[in-house]
Amino acid sequence: QDCHVAIGQAVGAGYIEARTSKQLDDLTSVMMYLGEVMEKTDMGDAFVGPWDVANACSDLLMARMGRETCDCADAVSIVDGGDAGDGAAVGEGGGGGGG
């Protein structure tokens, strides 16, 4: 669906903005920023809301860092085969830097 493309583009741009121009390094701040971005985004025919998307992004970042996610969350699948590495900041894997 077209709405999924728009959602993906909005959350991708929001993440890049959060990490670069906003210089947000902790997972909670990034998730909150993404939620605010998604509240301003037309979700179209999607069956999820803006905070569902922000939370899913948070879970994805946690999974990429090798951290556990909440048991109540749907399983996160990382299909790009990317290795999160051992950095300290959000999305870079390893210790520190996250919620």
pTM value > 0.85:
no
Q: Is the Cβ–Cβ distance between 36 and 51 less than 8 Å?
A: no
The full set of domain ranges for the chain reads 1-99
What is the percent of the chain with per-residue pLDDT over 90, rounded to a whole number? 58
pLDDT at 78 (0 to 100): 55
Given a cut of 50, whether residue 54 has pLDDT beyond it is yes
CA geometry: angle 96, 82, 15, nearest 5 deg:
60
Q: How far is the first Cα of the chain from the last one, in angstroms, to the nearest whole number?
A: 32
Asked whether 62 and 53 are in contact (CB, 8 A), the reply is no
Angle, vertex CA 33, rays to CA 28 and CA 39, nearest 5: 125
